[in-house]
């Protein structure tokens, strides 16, 4: 799993060790990325973040802060934060550690079907969990 932390910059990651800002809403956690990395205006960045949550089917979590989210809502926020980077590769690191409240292989497949991403999604997990992703 140490290899996941050493991935190059063109990879977007969703991982337990990449926490949300607890004092910010889901929308703000996502919108921070284009504000600081691409110097977007706050309004434009908020609009992009909300559209991404809409596309993922979780628009209702926008006002929630990290302590008020379920594990699945927290995961969706982290996923949206990674997707807004618009990188060609997305790595999800040990989803079971983050998604213990839903059947996570199915949940991730549903999100991937809804997400507008042209790159590849990869799941890094323990070898004994690899059978969960075959379909």
Residue range of the domain that includes 51: 2-133
Q: What is the CATH number of the domain that holds 127?
A: 3.40.50.300
Q: What percent of the chain has pLDDT over 90?
A: 56
Helix (H, G, I), strand (E, B) or coil at 126: coil
- Asked whether the predicted pLDDT for residue 2 surpasses 80, the reply is no
Whole-angstrom Cα distance, residue 123 to residue 8? 16
| Residue 132 neighbours by CB under 8 Å, 6+ apart | 104, 105, 125
CA-based nearest residue to 89, from 120, 57, 58: 120
* Rounded distance between C-alpha atoms, residue 90 and residue 69, angstroms: 23
What's the total number of domains in the chain? Answer: 1
Predicted local confidence at residue 125, as pLDDT? 86
pLDDT one-digit tens code per residue, 5-20: 667 778 999 999 999 9
- Strands (E) in 7-48, as ranges, are 11-14
pLDDT at 118: 65
Q: Rounded mean pLDDT of 103-115? A: 86
**pLDDT band (50, 70, 90) for residue 135:** low
Q: What are phi and psi of 98, to 5 degrees?
A: -100, -30
pLDDT tens for 52-76 read: 999 999 999 999 999 999 999 999 9
pLDDT in tens, 23-49: 999 999 999 998 888 778 889 999 999
Q: For residue 48, what pLDDT is reported?
A: 93
| Residues near 83 by beta carbon (within 8 Å), at least 6 away in sequence | 12, 52, 90, 115, 116, 117
């Amino acid at each position: 799993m140490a290899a996941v932390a050493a991935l190059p910059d063109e990879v977007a990651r969703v991982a337990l060790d990449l926490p949300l800002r607890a004092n910010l809403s889901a929308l703000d956690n996502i919108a921070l990325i284009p504000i600081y990395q691409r110097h977007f205006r706050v309004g434009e960045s908020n609009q992009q973040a909300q559209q991404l949550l809409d596309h993922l089917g979780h628009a209702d979590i926008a006002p929630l802060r990290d302590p008020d989210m379920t594990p699945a809502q927290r995961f969706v926020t982290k996923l949206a934060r990674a997707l807004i980077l618009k990188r060609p590769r997305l790595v999800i690191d040990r989803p079971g550690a983050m998604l213990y409240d839903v059947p996570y292989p199915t949940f991730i497949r549903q999100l991937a079907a809804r997400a507008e991403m042209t790159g590849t999604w990869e799941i890094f997990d323990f070898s004994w969990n690899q059978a969960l992703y075959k379909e």
